[in-house]
């Protein structure tokens, strides 16, 4: 597919997902701007690395200058104390959205998470417009991140796609991944679709491989993002026991949900 994406910023480019997105967009983007607090070695004239914290709005505004789109990955990607998650994922995402507005960037892809609905039971097929049911503070921070995206779309007309990513792994490594796996090439497919889908105001969409056992719907309103995932975790099913307690019921978040996961982060 010959799509031109223009100048694309990737925040959090040095993390687990960043290098896959960077590699996947390299051909179609005119230029990639790689933002992270960690050092990144840019590739010749096709990339620029910017060492910046998403707490620093002015630095973001400068990094976003002239950009056509932003893929926002930076933040805390796991459960933790609420204050830390509010700083990184909520205040940080507000800075990204506000700097994007000031720099005139039209399209923002926010990396949300399946954990915004992680407390729905595994036998419930979730559509993206159902009410949030976060399975912890991390999920709560992602609900707020999505809400900020909706606010900026409604108020300022930014085009915002919140991708509720599944479990990004090279291959499934635990039973739950038979439902939740997001393969690297499907991740790139969803990001590309989120960058190019027409008529976007705000949408939240699940980004998950075509796993036979998945519990999230790929629809977006009456349509979808226009990407059909190609991988299916079923190919690895023989590696995981069929009678795993995960399949007996309980929350979609599995071990990420429940008191044992939340209590350590409640403080005094």
Q: What amino acid positions are annotated as catalytic residues?
A: 138
Question: Which of 6, 80 has the CB closer to ligand NAD?
Answer: 80
**Closest chain position to ligand NAD (CB):** 15
Interaction of residue 168 with ligand NAD, rule CB under 6 A: yes
**Site residues for ligand NAD, window 104-163 (CB under 6 A)?**
111, 113
Half-sphere exposure of 40 (CA within 13 A, CB side): 25
8 A C-beta contact, residue 203 and residue 164? no
Query: Residue from 8, 29, 33, 36 that binds ligand NAD (CB under 6 A)?
Result: 36
Give the per-residue SS3 of 176-217.
Answer: CHHHHEECHHHHHHHHHHHHHCCCCCEEEEEECCCCCCCCEC
The answer to whether residue 229 forms part of the interface with ligand NAD (CB under 6 A) is no
Instruction: Report the nearest approach of ligand NAD to the CB of residue 243 (Å).
Output: 26
d(CA 79, CA 219): 27
Pick the binder of ligand NAD from 38, 46, 58, 230 (CB under 6 A): 38
For ligand NAD, the closer CB: 171 or 248 = 171
From residue 49 to residue 88, the character string flagging contacts with ligand NAD as x (rule: CB under 6 A) and all else as - is ----xxx-----------------xxx-x----------x
Q: Which helix (H) or strand (E) holds 50?
A: strand 47-51
88 or 157: CB nearest ligand NAD: 88
Interface with ligand NAD, residue 184, by CB under 6 A: no
Please say which residue, 213 or 242, places its beta carbon nearer to ligand NAD: 213
Distance, in Å, from the CA atom of 226 to the CA atom of 194, rounded to the nearest integer, reads: 9
Joined tokens for residue 103? 């720099």
> What residues contact residue 178 under an 8 Å CB cut-off, 6+ apart?
172, 211, 213, 233, 234, 236, 237, 240
Nearer Cβ to ligand NAD (114/159)? 114
Short-list 125, 240, 238, CA closest to 176: 240
Tell me how far, at minimum, the Cβ of 105 lies from ligand NAD, in Å: 17
Backbone angles phi, psi at 108, to 5 degrees: -125, 130
| Least spacing, CB of residue 96 vs ligand NAD, in Å | 9
Q: How many helices (H) and strands (E) does the chain have?
A: 8, 11
Number of chain positions touching ligand NAD (CB under 6 A):
23
Query: Which residues of the chain form contacts with ligand NAD (CB under 6 A)?
Result: 12, 14-18, 36-38, 53-55, 73-75, 77, 88, 92, 111, 113, 165, 167-168
């Amino acid at each position: 597919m010959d799509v031109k994406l223009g100048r694309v910023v990737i925040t959090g480019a040095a993390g687990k997902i960043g290098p896959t997105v960077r590699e996947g967009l390299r051909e179609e983007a005119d230029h990639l701007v790689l933002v992270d607090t960690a050092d990144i070695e840019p590739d010749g004239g096709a990339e620029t690395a910017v060492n910046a914290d998403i707490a620093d709005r002015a630095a973001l505004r400068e990094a976003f200058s002239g950009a056509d789109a932003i893929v926002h990955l930076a933040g805390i990607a796991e459960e933790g104390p609420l204050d830390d998650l509010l700083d990184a994922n909520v205040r940080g995402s507000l800075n990204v959205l506000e700097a994007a507005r000031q720099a005139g960037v039209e399209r923002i892809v926010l990396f949300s998470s399946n954990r915004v609905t992680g407390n729905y039971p595994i036998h419930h097929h979730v559509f993206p417009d159902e009410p949030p049911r976060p399975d912890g503070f991390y999920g709560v921070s992602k609900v707020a991140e999505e809400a900020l995206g909706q606010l900026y779309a409604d108020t300022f007309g930014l085009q915002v796609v919140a991708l509720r990513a599944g479990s990004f792994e090279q291959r499934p490594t635990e039973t739950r991944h038979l439902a939740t796996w997001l393969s690297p090439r499907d991740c790139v497919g969803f990001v590309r679709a989120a960058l190019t889908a027409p008529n976007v105001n705000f949408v939240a969409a699940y980004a998950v491989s075509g796993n036979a056992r998945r519990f999230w719907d790929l629809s977006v309103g009456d349509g979808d993002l226009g990407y059909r995932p190609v991988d299916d975790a079923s190919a690895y099913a023989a590696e995981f026991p069929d009678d795993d307690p995960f399949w007996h019921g309980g929350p979609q978040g599995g071990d990420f949900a429940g008191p044992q996961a939340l209590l350590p982060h409640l403080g005094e």
